[in-house]
A and B are shown apart, each in its own frame.
Chain A
């Protein structure tokens, strides 16, 4: 049956915007599919894992306005649990290991979130940082993490027991699929009614409370989602690199993910992807140059510059100039 409904200009604009967005996604997916033939797959996988990590973090900071300084704990928990399970139970397939790691991060995220949302703003950041440091010490002392050495030689295994992930190309497409799933969850969350309420809480929490929203429940769910996706990123990363180490649990990592998000654009869907790509490329490039030891200084400088004069991030600035010039 043909639709005879006439479109108002506003609806038409909305439909066009949706079409344009759909087209953009298709182009990006095509780029993602072709990428391993142009660039080194291991590097791309690293970018994708950190991009998912940053997107998860951005869900919390950009859309709920909560600055977590402890997201490394979720990345590391996902990584360690997956790494430990895959290394100790050779029959376990990688997707189950990743699922278990993600679940562990969800559980930890629920605990952290329930505690941290009891305080606001700056205290929230300090509480999450302190809790993550607690997790760091637990990982240092626990026997199953291998302490300072970390876990090595985690097998990649066979996906669903069928497809061997030993080749980097197969591994890449798996990571790409994981990233797309994670990104789709975030995209869906942000554009759902739930996401709208989250943004309302970010903009004016007392008003959201007075409108009758259970603000704490909304925040907690955002925290758990973000933690789970960060855990998914960590689990996938462990399978890719076949190791889990304390670096992932260190507070430097929590800082790095903030930087990726800030540089790319807080509260934009693609910002964290761009930011993660830039930071990971920078680290890779610097590691091979004489400036290799100065990475943290350079990251610190970028941090300061971003905060002082580039607060919308790359994607945010582009979006702003598009809005200004093409309207």
Chain B
């Protein structure tokens, strides 16, 4: 899933400075699962913003609404009845796709992101998330014992480890495991060194961001009248 975290409260306060009526929009997708922008986090942030305003004697209404997803136009459409209530700011608590979709659908609204979108990852334990994918567009983890050196090696090395690997830990931080240490250990443990391609060829990065913004079109799913 996409892992995000809430922006510092001061930054969010800066977005709504001088405004009296704001709408906080959550997302029930990835950011709910990573406890960054679901109904619960919307409630907490809305309450904090209200308390902050009340403390200073400022008038502020913070309305809360959580969409099924913010990355599909049909759900963004559900915001219409709220947008009609004329908010001075809409704070989106989704990954950065959410505020972009809201802005595109409601171009006159001032839309702000309340989260920082961090990475594609998974939960190592409750409350701990780690990056596991860089969306390079050409998955090769099968060549590396089921582990992704592109997202999990600090240098994205396809032929590692580098000299910075010591005791299974990356030189950048003792908190970062050396994925190449794990890959090599696993392959050796499984006695599959012979299958392990000694030198990986240069990766074609055109499927990654290097080829510019990406788009997927599934002809069999496209309804012409829906394309805007």
The reply to whether chain A is a binding partner of chain B is no
